[in-house]
């Protein structure tokens, strides 16, 4: 009998339930809070390479750089990281789409009056297709339509570090409570993160970056995945010559065929 043909160029999908995926307890915690910390997800040597590729983008203001593969090939180590694949597969099945990537730079405090490079106030929001059809408004209770991996490339130690603040359970709230612009609301969580730590977040969870009032620049790399039937105007825009360098399996993550 003839054996099944194996395409050497196609990576097998990760199996949900392997040690790279979330345990049932972690899935429950994520479901309750709308986010989950995954300490030490990315190996130190990988973080070093990702940070080295990020540092040349340092500038004077808070900045977000999309489609990071166009900037340096080493970012593929985060985008196609086995844990990103395993966890996304748990939520969306093996055919999920890599919808986007963003490198966030939040510069250290400049000047002596507490002002920061471009960001003075928190800006609470929910993710995904802002404008006419925000994802959190399409159904109730809000299903997970987009998963965001925040990968710390530098440390954040508290509110002063310019990291994230998140409001637990807000992915289940229909209303946006009116948070004051100039403070952190009671009950918000500000995760302490070391380089290589990751935080996954439901798109409907209210969150904000904080002004960086510390002496240290902050770099944060985000990987965003969706079920591959979700249509978005925020799609990753990878240059054709960069796409051509990827394996077929990784290319299909970015440009899904079937749907």
Binding interface with ligand AKG (CB under 6 A): 102, 104, 106, 127, 150, 164, 207-209, 220
Quick one: 104 or 246, whose CB is closer to ligand AKG?
104
State the nearest-atom distance from the C-beta of 16 to ligand AKG, in Å.
26
Select from 243, 259, 257 the least CA-distant residue to 80: 243
- Pick between residue 20 and residue 104 the one whose CB is nearest to ligand AKG: 104
Least distance from ligand AKG to the Cβ atom of residue 197, Å: 13
Nearer to ligand AKG (CB atom), residue 149 or residue 150: 150
- The residues, any chain, with a CB within 8 Å of residue 243's CB and separated by 6 or more, are 251, 254, 255
Min dist. Cβ of residue 19 to ligand AKG (A): 27
- Residue with CB nearest ligand AKG? 209
H-assigned helices in the chain: 24-33, 44-54, 76-79, 82-92, 240-243, 248-254
Q: Which is nearer to ligand AKG, 89 or 222 (CB)?
A: 222
Is the Cβ–Cβ distance between 63 and 104 less than 8 Å?
yes
Pairing, β 218-226 against β 147-152: antiparallel
C-alpha dihedral sign at 135, 31, 99, 38? positive
Q: How far is the CB of 49 from ligand AKG (least distance, A)?
A: 20
């Amino acid at each position: 009998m003839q054996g099944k043909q194996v395409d050497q160029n196609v990576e097998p999908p990760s199996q949900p339930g392997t040690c790279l995926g979330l345990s049932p307890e972690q899935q429950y915690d994520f479901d309750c809070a709308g986010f989950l910390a995954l300490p030490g997800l990315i190996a130190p040597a990988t973080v070093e390479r990702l940070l080295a590729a990020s540092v040349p983008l340092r500038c004077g203001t808070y900045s977000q750089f999309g489609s990071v593969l166009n900037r340096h090939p080493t970012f593929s180590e985060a985008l196609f990281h086995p844990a990103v694949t395993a966890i996304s597969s748990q939520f969306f099945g093996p055919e999920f789409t890599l919808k986007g990537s963003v490198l966030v730079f939040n510069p250290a405090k400049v000047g002596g009056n507490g002002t920061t490079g471009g960001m003075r106030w928190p800006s609470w929001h929910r993710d995904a297709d802002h404008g006419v059809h925000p994802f959190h408004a399409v159904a109730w209770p809000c299903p997970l339509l987009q998963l965001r991996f925040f990968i710390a490339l530098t440390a954040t130690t508290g509110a002063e570090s310019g990291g994230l603040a998140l409001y637990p359970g807000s992915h289940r709230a229909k209303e946006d409570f009116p948070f004051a612009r100039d403070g952190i609301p009671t009950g918000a969580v500000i995760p302490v993160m070391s380089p290589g730590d990751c935080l996954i977040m439901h798109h409907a969870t209210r969150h904000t970056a904080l002004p960086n009032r510390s002496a240290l620049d902050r770099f944060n790399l985000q990987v965003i995945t969706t079920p591959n039937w979700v249509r978005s105007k925020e799609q990753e825009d990878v240059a054709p010559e960069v796409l051509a360098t990827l394996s077929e399996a990784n290319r299909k993550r970015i440009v899904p065929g079937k749907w």
